[in-house]
Amino acid sequence: MTKPCLACYLYAVFVLLTVSTSLSAPSPASSLYDTFLQCLTQNTNSITQLSSILFAPTSPTFPTLLENYIRNARFNTSSTRKPLLIVTPLTESHVQGAVICAKSVDIQLKIRSGGHDFEGISYISDEPFIILDMFNLRAITVDLEAEVATVQVGATLGEIYYKIWKTSKPVTSKVVKGNKTIRASVVALFLGRANEVVSILEKEFPLLGLRAENCTEMSWIESVLWWDDDKNLGAKPEILLNRDLNSAGFLKRKSDYVQKPIPRAGLEGLWKIMIELGKAGVVFNPYGGKMNEVPSDATPFPHRKGNLFKMQYFVNWDDPSPAAAQNFINQTRTLYSYMTPFVSQNPRSAFLNYRDLDIGVNTFGKNSFQEGEVYGRKYFNDNFERLVKVKTAVDPENFFRNEQSIPVYPSKA
Ligand X SMILES: *[C@@H]1O[C@H](CO)[C@@H](O)[C@H](O)[C@H]1NC(C)=O
Classified as helix, coil or strand, 131 is strand
* Pairing state between β 281-286 and 309-317: antiparallel
For ligand X, which is the closer residue by CB, 147 or 213?
213
Q: Binding pattern to ligand X, positions 230-249, x when CB under 6 A? A: ----------------xxx-
Alpha carbons 269 and 46: distance in angstroms, whole number = 61
The window from 39-47, 127-135, 269-277, 326-334 that contacts ligand X (CB under 6 A) reads 326-334
For ligand X, which is the closer residue by CB, 375 or 380?
375
Tell me how far, at minimum, the Cβ of 154 lies from ligand X, in Å: 17
> Do you find a cis peptide bond into 60, omega within 30 degrees of 0?
no
For ligand X, which is the closer residue by CB, 149 or 235?
235
Kindly identify the residues of this chain, within the stretch 257-316, that bind ligand X according to CB under 6 A. Answer: none
By CB under 6 A, residue 181 contacts ligand X: yes
Decide if 162 contacts 140 (C-beta within 8 A): no
Decide if 325 contacts 359 (C-beta within 8 A): no
Kindly identify the residues of this chain, within the stretch 63-82, that bind ligand X according to CB under 6 A. Answer: 67, 70, 73, 76
Closest to 304 (Cα-Cα) out of 257, 340, 261: 257
Decide if 314 contacts 281 (C-beta within 8 A): yes
Tell me how far, at minimum, the Cβ of 180 lies from ligand X, in Å: 4
* Pairing state between β 85-87 and 129-133: parallel
Q: With 0-12 CB in 10 A as exposed, 13-18 as middle and 19+ as buried, what is 391?
A: buried
**Size of the residue set binding ligand X (CB under 6 A):** 21
By CB under 6 A, residue 122 contacts ligand X: no
Tell me how far, at minimum, the Cβ of 112 lies from ligand X, in Å: 13
By CB under 6 A, residue 333 contacts ligand X: yes
Considering only 116, 180, 236, 389, the residue that binds ligand X (CB under 6 A) is 180
Alpha carbons 368 and 265: distance in angstroms, whole number = 40
Decide if 98 contacts 109 (C-beta within 8 A): yes
For ligand X, which is the closer residue by CB, 100 or 198?
198
For ligand X, which is the closer residue by CB, 67 or 395?
67
By CB under 6 A, residue 120 contacts ligand X: no
By CB under 6 A, residue 211 contacts ligand X: yes
CA distances, 197 to each of 178, 193, 308, 379 (Å): 10, 7, 20, 33
The window from 7-15, 175-183, 282-290, 367-375 that contacts ligand X (CB under 6 A) reads 175-183
Tell me how far, at minimum, the Cβ of 249 lies from ligand X, in Å: 8
Kindly identify the residues of this chain, within the stretch 149-168, that bind ligand X according to CB under 6 A. Answer: none
By CB under 6 A, residue 210 contacts ligand X: yes
Alpha carbons 404 and 406: distance in angstroms, whole number = 7
Closest to 7 (Cα-Cα) out of 93, 121, 123: 93
By CB under 6 A, residue 334 contacts ligand X: yes
The window from 208-216, 259-267, 297-305, 355-363 that contacts ligand X (CB under 6 A) reads 208-216
For ligand X, which is the closer residue by CB, 46 or 330?
330
Q: With 0-12 CB in 10 A as exposed, 13-18 as middle and 19+ as buried, what is 280?
A: buried
Residues in contact with ligand X by the rule CB under 6 A: 67, 70, 73, 76, 178-181, 208-211, 213-214, 246-248, 330, 333-334, 337
